[in-house]
Amino acid sequence: MTDDRIRVLIVDDSAFMRRVIHNMIETNPEMDVVGSARDGLDALKKARELNPDVITLDIEMPVMDGLTALENLQKQDDYAVIVVSSHTREGASATIRALELGAFDFVTKPDNIFSMPSEEIRAELAEKIRMAYQSRKKGRKEAKTLGKVVSGIGEQDGKANDLKYLIAIGISTGGPRALSSIMPMFPADIPAAVIVVQHMPEGFTKSLANRLNEISSLTVKEAADNELLKAGNVYIAPGSHHLTLKSEGGKTRIVLSDQPPLGGFRPSVDVMMRSVADSDIENVIAVIMTGMGSDGTKGLIELRKKKKPYVIAQDESTSIVFGMPKVAIESGVVDDIAPLMEIPNRILKYMGVRQ
């Protein structure tokens, strides 16, 4: 073991899963498994003793479950946590809650656990451990408060809920927590519909939408095919489909596409932004937020060619991973760079909802 290797603690109540994850991590020369824990209480003890950089955390465990352990781990130190989640509805909901509480990211257990050591999962786990470590090392932290809910535009305007703007958001790593921070800041009567592409597997986007709907004044849902865009509604792209738009007769509907992934992503931010560019909606606010890679920039360039959007990028200090916003900024398509908790204010001011 060398001092510069990433120190990983594995937490899972299954001895088999602990061994599988251990073997996957140990094949990477950049990483070292410093220990394992069988439940949340054991994890707290081992984390104190071993001082890991990154913790892989199961959710469903005896004695102390993963969510309770995560809350206590965060009080103990600034560990970077990657959730190892099941595909079940309960597992997806718990994972969304864990991300909201501050887990860096997650990997999903395959339905057949014996396929867990596949090269694809091994590579995904290694990349997320690496990015989690870099995020912790740089000390990047999002704002921990939701901020004050911005007042609505009032009841004097009977057409307050007319669709006058479209807000298109592209986001990836760190997205659930970022979205759960800013969505409650929008009033229910904004004259805009919101469409969101969050890189996330099928099944998890519905749990994300449900959770955001619980904490927001806006109506948040997983997008459905042929659904009419309405002001005051947020539509989350399903993890299995691209989200595109079709305008006809003065109205715009959502069209879900199962076309192949673009750049490895389905849903893709580029696909969504290009579709927005081809729609009849002229008043567009595009937001590119925390995430790895460059998804969204090509779509924003296309959007800029066909319309006059207001483009906001999340700043580096509040991005868990400053990849997608950085590339967009460097391309020259961004009008405004804002910290996470300021993004809603910039959007509302642009729409004239807030002075």
Q: Indicate whether 327 belongs to any domain.
A: yes
Residue after which a domain boundary falls, among 96, 121, 138: 138
The neighbour count for residue 127, using CB atoms within 10 Å, is 13
Residue after which a domain boundary falls, among 138, 157, 187: 138
What is the per-residue DSSP string for 270-333?
HHHHHHHHHSS---EEEEE-SBSS-TTHHHHHHHHHHS--EEEEE-TTT-SSBSHHHHHHHHT-
Residue 86 has pLDDT above 80, yes or no: no
Q: Indicate whether 150 belongs to any domain.
A: no
Q: Indicate whether 10 belongs to any domain.
A: yes
CA distance 198 to 180: 12
Residue after which a domain boundary falls, among 96, 120, 138: 138
pLDDT recorded at residue 69: 96
- Same domain assignment for residues 186 and 129: no
Q: Indicate whether 149 belongs to any domain.
A: no
- Same domain assignment for residues 213 and 79: no
Backbone phi and psi for residue 32, each to the nearest 5 degrees, phi listed first:
-140, 125
Where is pLDDT greater, at 153 or 165? 165
Which helix (H) or strand (E) is 351 found in, with range? helix 343-351
112 — pLDDT class (breaks 50, 70, 90): low
- Same domain assignment for residues 12 and 115: yes
- Same domain assignment for residues 118 and 210: no
**DSSP alpha helix (H) spans, 102-195:** 119-138, 175-182
- Same domain assignment for residues 332 and 214: yes
- Same domain assignment for residues 219 and 134: no
Q: Indicate whether 154 belongs to any domain.
A: no
Q: Which residue type sits at 38?
A: R
Residue 62 has pLDDT above 50, yes or no: yes
- Same domain assignment for residues 313 and 192: yes
Where is pLDDT greater, at 32 or 353? 32
Where is pLDDT greater, at 250 or 165? 165
pLDDT recorded at residue 89: 66
pTM confidence score: 0.82
- Same domain assignment for residues 87 and 217: no
pLDDT recorded at residue 210: 92
Burial class (CB in 10 A: 0-12, 13-18, 19+), 335: middle
CATH number of the domain where residue 194 is located: 3.40.50.180
CATH number of the domain where residue 93 is located: 3.40.50.2300
pLDDT tens, 184-209? Answer: 999 999 999 999 999 998 889 999 99
Q: Indicate whether 145 belongs to any domain.
A: no
- Same domain assignment for residues 341 and 203: yes
Number of domains into which the chain is organized: 2
CA dihedral 62, 67, 70, 74 (to 10 degrees): -140
CA distance 347 to 351: 6
Q: Are 166 and 195 in contact (CB under 8 A)?
A: yes
pLDDT recorded at residue 153: 38
Q: List all residues 6 or more positions away from 240 whose beta carbon is below 8 Å from its beta carbon.
A: 202, 258, 266
Q: Indicate whether 155 belongs to any domain.
A: no
Catalytic: which of 85, 86, 135, 172?
A: 172
pLDDT recorded at residue 146: 38
Taking residues 126-141, what's their average pLDDT? Answer: 80
The neighbour count for residue 71, using CB atoms within 10 Å, is 14
Q: How does the average pLDDT of the chain come out, rounded?
A: 89
Three-state DSSP class for residue 177: helix
Q: Indicate whether 148 belongs to any domain.
A: no
Residue 88 has pLDDT above 70, yes or no: no
- Same domain assignment for residues 197 and 334: yes
Domain range for 63: 6-138
Q: Which residue type sits at 131?
A: M
Taking residues 161-177, what's their average pLDDT? Answer: 91
Is residue 295 part of the annotated active site? The answer reads yes
Residue 64 has pLDDT above 50, yes or no: yes
Is residue 189 part of the annotated active site? The answer reads no
**What is the DSSP pairing of strand 192-198 with strand 219-222?**
unpaired
Residue 2 has pLDDT above 70, yes or no: no
- Same domain assignment for residues 218 and 121: no
Check the CA dihedral 326-236-272-257 and report its sign. positive
- Same domain assignment for residues 324 and 189: yes
pLDDT tens, 264-280? Answer: 999 999 999 999 999 99
Is residue 217 part of the annotated active site? The answer reads no
Catalytic: which of 12, 36, 199, 270?
A: 199
* pLDDT over 70, % of the chain: 89
